[in-house]
């Protein structure tokens, strides 16, 4: 069977590999969600004073609260 120090080393390597795999998975998922939200456009409705987001690249979007068509915010 394995000696105690060898078994501890193998266990540490397996645990380290699992943590690295989880870190890479969640880092990639977080980056993809951030890039998706970054591509969205912001809109402001002067009629009901609502700030909301719409599809990426949309020049105009209807307000979800009052239905007024608004142009994209430009910063």
pLDDT tens digit sequence for 18-51: 999 999 999 999 998 887 777 778 899 999 999 8
For the entire predicted model, the pTM comes to 0.49
Mean pLDDT of 3-22: 94
DSSP state at residue 59: S
DSSP code at position 73: P
Per-residue confidence band for 57, with pLDDT thresholds at 50, 70 and 90: confident
Poorest-confidence range of 8-17, 33-42, 63-72?
33-42
């Amino acid at each position: 069977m394995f000696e105690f120090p060898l078994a501890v080393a193998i266990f540490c390597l397996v645990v380290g590999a699992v943590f690295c795999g989880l870190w890479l998975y969640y880092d990639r998922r977080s980056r993809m969600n951030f890039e998706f939200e970054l591509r969205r456009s912001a809109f402001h409705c002067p009629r009901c004073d609502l700030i909301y987001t719409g599809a990426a690249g949309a020049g105009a979007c209807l307000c979800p609260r009052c239905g007024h068509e608004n142009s994209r915010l430009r910063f």
